[in-house]
Amino acid sequence: MTPQFWLWLGFAGMSVGAALILFIGKRRSHAEEADTIIHGLVPIIAACSYLAMATGQGSVMLPAGPDAGTATRAFYFARYIDWSFTTPLLLLGLANTAMHSGMRRPAIVWGMIGSDLIMIVTAFVFGLTQVAWLKWTWFAISCGAFLGVYYGIFVQLREENARERDDVRASFMRNAMFLSVVWLAYPIVLLLGDDGLGLLGPALGLGIIAVLDLVAKVVYGLMATAQTAKRVDRDLAEGKVTTTARPHLAAAE
**131 domain-assigned:** yes
Per the prediction, the chain carries an average pLDDT of 90
Q: Given pLDDT bands bounded at 50, 70 and 90, which one contains residue 70?
A: low
| CA separation for the pair 2, 172 (Å, rounded) | 37
Which residues does residue 75 pair with via DSSP β-bridges, in sequence order? 60
Examine residue 153 and state whether it is found in any structural domain, yes or no. yes
142: domain CATH number is 1.20.1070.10
Asked whether residue 99 is assigned to any structural domain, the reply reads yes
pLDDT at 241: 65
* pLDDT range class, residue 28, cuts 50, 70, 90: confident
pLDDT (tens digit per residue) in 173-203: 999 999 999 999 999 999 999 888 989 988 9
Number of domains forming the structure of the chain: 1
The pLDDT assigned to 67 comes to 65
Residue 243 lies in a domain: no
Average pLDDT over residues 20-28: 88
Q: Are 235 and 30 in contact (CB under 8 A)?
A: no
Dihedral sign computed on CA atoms, order 199, 50, 110, 174: negative
Q: What is the pTM of this model?
A: 0.89
DSSP per position, the chain: --HHHHHHHHHHHHHHHHHHHHHH---SSHHHHHHHHHHHHHHHHHHHHHHHHHTTSS-EEEESSTT-TT-EEEE-THHHHHHHHHHHHHHHHHHHHHTTT----HHHHHHHHHHHHHHHHHHHHHHH--SHHHHHHHHHHHHHHHHHHHHIIIIIIHHHHTTS-HHHHHHHHHHHHHHHHHHHHHHHHHHHSTTTT--S-HHHHHHHHHHHHHIIIIIHHHHHHHHHHHHHHHHHHTT-S---S-HHHHHH-
Condensed to tens digits (0 to 9), the pLDDT of residues 110-152 reads 999 999 999 999 999 999 998 899 999 999 999 999 999 999 9
User: Per the domain annotation, does 250 fall within a domain?
Assistant: no
Q: Left if phi > 0, otherwise alpha if psi is -120 to 50, otherwise beta: which for 243?
A: beta
- Please give the Cα distance from 10 to 93 (Å, whole number): 22
Q: Is residue 89 part of a domain?
A: yes
Q: How far is CA 166 from CA 105, 173, 185, 226, in A?
A: 20, 11, 30, 17
Assigned domain for 247 exists: no
**Mean pLDDT of all residues in 207-229:** 95
Output the pLDDT for position 127: 93
Is residue 68 over pLDDT 80? no
Look at residue 252 in the predicted model and tell me its pLDDT.
45
Backbone phi, psi, residue 243, to 5°: -65, 145
Containing domain of residue 177, as a range?
3-61+70-238
Asked if the structure places residue 248 within a domain, the reply is no
